[in-house]
Amino acid sequence: MASHSSSSEKKSDTLEAGDVNDFKVHVFKSSSELLEKLHDKWSQVEKKPYAAMFSSTYGGIILDPALMVIPIDDHMVHRGHGVFDTAVILNGFIYELDVHLNRFLRSSSKAKISSPFPQSTLRTILVQLAAVSQIKKGTLRYWLSAGPGNFLLSPTDLPTPAFYAVVIDEDFSQCKEGVKVITSTIPMKSPEFATMKNVNYLPNVLAKLEAEEKGANASIWVDEEGYVAEGPNVNVAFITHDKELVVPFFDKILSGCTVLRMLELAPKLVEQGRLKAIRTANLTVEEAKNSAEMMYVGSTLPVLPIIAWDEQPIGDGKVGELTMALSDLVWEDMNAGPVGTQRTAVPYTE
């Protein structure tokens, strides 16, 4: 038996070796041949999701998705030395562009990445990119990288940092259905990295996958002191049984632009007598799970009701009335908020 098994293994090894030796890697002899291959690939995509991209490496806006690439020696690719941010395009307006840009540059400063352009130029590029894309509803995503130039650890010898941006044709609407979440077992980032929107999102990805594998929408991080922190790429908020809106302190987590705007809008519900108070605080898991309502808050949601956490119902296990009232406030602001301060008009051309 043993000798038969060994002989089978040898035969299998021989076959695998033969297969490997028979495999020939194609060599592209010219850029035109490669471009033809890329165009062939994209021709099979029915709806092009990426309408336009800006690359400081190219020095302009790209409309051909086959060319929407970044260099392999860019330090954002092989070292994760980059930061990013996202703004929503809705009804032809960019929502909270300046707030997101300010956070973007705070992140880049923490990551020791200087911008190749001043903030006013970055803003102009993003608005022009949105205009060229012709997208009226989608997301505007952008990155600052230490830049391309080598495969070393330090960026000291790189020629210049790089700025990339892309407009994505993306449909989204106000979330009205409740979701279930779990407590993540994936270690959360240290405050230094959690408060900086950098491209090192492996913990976030693993936390999301962990939730999906358990049949949940996403997860909740709890810090080392046992306090509720945030979701994998969203903030979390609670309504207590005393009708208080409570959001975890931002000292160890990312201060989300959408949750900050929600906190600015929420006093309207206090004035109406529907909410009693608004505060940021440390919440234990037990306190949070015993809240009356719970929600995720993020750019494209903007508010996502949470009805169960680790299989324990939140409140009565249904979408909360005040959660939807807060969602309505933010959604209305996204659609019809002040032009100039909250919404930037995109100058589309016919």
Is 77 in contact with 125 (CB distance < 8 Å)?
A: no
197 flagged as catalytic: yes
Q: Which of 180, 197, 208, 289 is catalytic?
A: 197
For residue 111, the one-letter residue type is A
Nearest Cα to Cα of residue 301 among 259, 337, 269, 255: 259
Q: In whole angstroms, what is the distance from residue 204 CA to residue 253 CA?
A: 12
Distance from C-alpha of 324 to C-alpha of 331, rounded to nearest angstrom:
10
Asked if residues 199 and 80 have their Cβ atoms less than 8 Å apart, the reply is: yes
Q: What is the 3-state secondary structure (H, E, C) of the chain?
A: CHHHHHHHHHHHHHHHHHHHHHCCCCCCCCHHHHHHHHHHHHHCCCCCCEEEEEECCCCEEECCHHHCCCCCCCHHHHCCCEEEEEEEEECCEEECHHHHHHHHHHHHHHCCCCCCCCHHHHHHHHHHHHHHHCCCEEEEEEEEECCCCCCCCCCCCCCCCEEEEEEEECCCCCCCCCEEEEECCCCCCCHHHHCCCECCCHHHHHHHHHHHHCCCCEEECECCCCEECCCCCCEEEEECCCCEEEEECCCCCCCCHHHHHHHHHCHHHHHCCCCCEEEEECCEHHHHHCCCEEEEECCCCCEEEEEEECCEECCCCCCCHHHHHHHHHHHHHHHHCCECCCEEECCCCC
Which positions are annotated as active-site residues?
197
